[in-house]
A and B are shown apart, each in its own frame.
Chain A
Amino acid sequence: MGRSAVMAPVPSKLYSDDVSLLVVLLDTNPFFWSTASLPFSKFLSHVLAFLNSILLINQLNQVVVIATGCNSCNFIFDSSSVPANPNLENGRMPALCSNLLQKLEEFVTGDEKLSKEVLAAGIGSSLLSGSLSMALCYIQRVFRTGPLHPQPRILCLQGSPDGPEQYVAVMNAIFSAQRSMVPIDSCVIGAQHSAFLQQASYITGGVYLKPQQLDGLFQYLSTVFATDLHSRRFLQLPKPAGVDFRASCFCHKNTIDMGYICSVCLSIFCKHHKKCSTCGSVFGQAQSDGNSATDRKRKTPET
């Protein structure tokens, strides 16, 4: 990515409350796209048309695209940066498409090269926690530019299944987005619902949608996800239905509605145990300081 241009100061009357910064997290996981019902090229044409429409709605709108790969994540496109080839005619429109596609191709090739020979059990998922974290860092930079800035939001275009190993990282990102008041919208193009994204959209006040007909994807994107945050108050957008907040037990990964929580580390178990498998605390006795660096005598013997 080249250096971003400094955002030129704009007279205050042009910064109305419907200026948006849209950060799009694009799932490029080849394991998902090789079996998806919608081909990747058709998907891209829907998305590019949608991104163009965002930039047309308001000349101050900004679009940033981050690719979520299966081995890496990276920034693909930033509409506020100086285009590589300023000699193209017709302003930004053709430059947007060719720029984005070129960077995307470089990213996908690089991502595939990083694939290790032996595939771990958790493969099949993309690095959603990585691209969410990068998006939030970028949005914090926009907040730092001062009181005049566009309203940021994140749109996840996700098809890969959730990776349970990313649970803590994804939840951390969700809570940070909630505190910064950045909504996370989700458009799920895979076969199954995503519990992570349902929770993300519910907690941050975004919109969650799993479109029924993927060949009309552009219609869904432009009617549900194109509007700025201010206008959402007047629109009827899809409401969250049946968000599952039950927990999974650490021992079997089953969903449970009643369980036992270790008071030291908050691990969840479905049955009573004598000892916590995560932190080693023995229940019912004052635990010894096994985790700290200081050398302390154990107060109670382990039975």
Chain B
Amino acid sequence: MPAPIRLRELIRTIRTARTQAEEREMIQKECAAIRSSFREEDNTYRCRNVAKLLYMHMLGYPAHFGQLECLKLIASQKFTDKRIGYLGAMLLLDERQDVHLLMTNCIKNDLNHSTQYVQGLALCTLGCMGSSEMCRDLAGEVEKLLKTSNSYLRKKAALCAVHVIRKVPELMEMFLPATKNLLNEKNHGVLHTSVVLLTEMCERSPDMLSHFRKLVPQLVRILKNLIMSGYSPEHDVSGISDPFLQVRILRLLRILGRNDDDSSEAMNDILAQVATNTETSKNVGNAILYETVLTIMDIKSESGLRVLAINILGRFLLNNDKNIRYVALTSLLKTVQTDHNAVQRHRSTIVDCLKDLDVSIKRRAMELSFALVNGNNIRGMMKELLYFLDSCEPEFKADCASGIFLAAEKYAPSKRWHIDTIMRVLTTAGSYVRDDAVPNLIQLITNSMEMHAYTVQKLYKAILGDYSQQPLVQVASWCMGEYGDLLISDQCEEEEPIQVTEEEVLDILENVLISNMSASVTRGYALTAIMKLSTRFTCTVNRIKKVVSIYGSSIDVELQQRAVEYNALFKKYDHMRSALLERMPVMEKVTTNGPTEIVQTNGETEPAVLETKPPPSGLQPTSQANDLLDLLGGNDITPVIPTAPTSKPASAGGELLDLLGDLSLTALVPAPQISQPPFLLDGLSSQPLFNDIAAGIPSITAYSKNGLKIEFTFERSNTNPSVTVITIQASNSTELDMTDFVFQAAVPKTFQLQLLSPSSSIIPAFNTGTITQVIKVLNPQKQQLRMRIKLTYNHKGSAMQDLAEVNNFPPQSWQ
């Protein structure tokens, strides 16, 4: 049999293929040749064949039949064979295949080989893809090599140890003695990898952390030498000496200085020095400054240093390099809570970044802008944000609109300004507004009594030509129904008064009903509005009667029901009509479902009123709401169709926002509102809709999977009824500890969440202990509590992660 073709030859040949099919054919032919060669146990060409296989694997073709061959190559004595063999192992094998364990013995031998390059290959392979079993078996060898004086091997052993610790955290202790003199090395490679190893150990164990704090002076010294020493050609990058090492040292200092006054004090000077002396003309200098800023902000630095850090970030914002700007915005977002005033000083630069072309920068600038809005700058900021809303990409509009509403609610300087702002949002991004915004806005409008005429006029004008933006049309319809009398009487002094007749108003509402752009919910709003106008208008009552009776046979069940009942109002209960359709009272912001409110709003069908808290947009009706409907006699409920969540780009700067990606829903397909049965006249009992808070709120099991159980217990604050304090207890019923446990939670935007520090990060096995953590939830609107949780932990040597929704909160915890 002729010698198998050479690697480069094969590559050349395959590249001549003109079509995918041709390439596939060549590959299959060659694979067949390689297979038979393998079967013949040919030692001479095994290396060549595996190399070719690796190339074909990179092109996307299956290469698993070469796995065992890689092992044979590793076992060979020839260096070339080992080189290709280990490469093959790293590319084709992973810990999922049992085959990989066969490598262990070879690696063990090679770790003790006489040639350092062979030892290097073994260390590299173990450090890149060693499984937990392999790591357990070979940790001793790695530890030995960590103590060698050969710096080539020592640096590799250090990173290999890092990998071992990541895979099998329990083995961390055994490397402790070897770390004794690591920082005394002159060799930068060893220094760098040692710092990485120390960082890994300190991050994983508070004991190690306190143990290694004594290294701070030495680290400071090394860093100082790097900065002060002259030009060192071997490690120089654009005039800076070993930036990689500088950055890693700064990161280790961050971990050591965190929460520790003495260590922070000891590193104060060097941080100031680095911050002021580092050359900023190239990326490498800025990389060091960036790390320095992160460290300054995280340790207990003095205020002067912190201001210095923020100013560096401010300068970054003005940098032409958009990478630097991006990094600055990310860091500012992290620090805006703690150093708010300092960040405020850079507000105008941040706002300018809203106009950046890069999407990631825009998003960060938007988040930061919302964090910086306050009572003083609201007018100016809002102008910028509204302009941004107008011109930004669709993926931002929903978040931006929500953010604007929130900010406006908190800081509006006047009611008129507030309403104008809302109008602006509705008209520019009306279809991106979230569903729960509509009832909020309606409630806001009812509260500004002097603005009713102004508002309804503006809304009327806004939808005159265009019914496509559903939330806008919904709010407008509702207002026209409620304040139609003001609209036609042109009581509004502020705007140029427009002459509107009853007919014109009804024209619009009827058009909304007919338009095929109108969602079912919108039609509901329009029909009810028309009905309400029967008491507010004088000349057009017959027209209204006609419209209402037409819809009595509508295919849409919701509309049909309403129309039939309104018809009944006209026919049988005409004497009650004016009372029923009276002007709405001002709605309470902190809403409850108290019986008295229902009596007041008798007969009104607006879901926004009856269920005086905004209906949960799109998610399953709560069992609470169902109970209510059952109490009042099973009327038809429009099925609530959950809308598809938008896929939000994950934002690294805010994990909470990321977790909320599914809770926030697009308003493009607004969910039908949960409709309360319209007729409460029949058999309305003044049954309280929630139980009095009994002594003690039942606790719930929020999560239980894979042996991890998380329970929530609740307490309500006596001083602030909007605060719920949740204590979580995480327990572990498996036979191995769960380490590095991190609990994260996200709630819908109308809530606020505060997570206090957990009791520890390790959940001992066999339920022998728990992690407790306190969550404070602020729920001013008394909305039903929902939470999404993210759990990350290490268990049995692998990293675990899970997302879950908690929906079983007892009503006493949030009402």
Our verdict on whether A and B bind, yes or no, reads no
A residues whose Cβ falls under 8 Å from a Cβ of B: none
- Point out residues on B near A: beta carbons under 8 Å: none
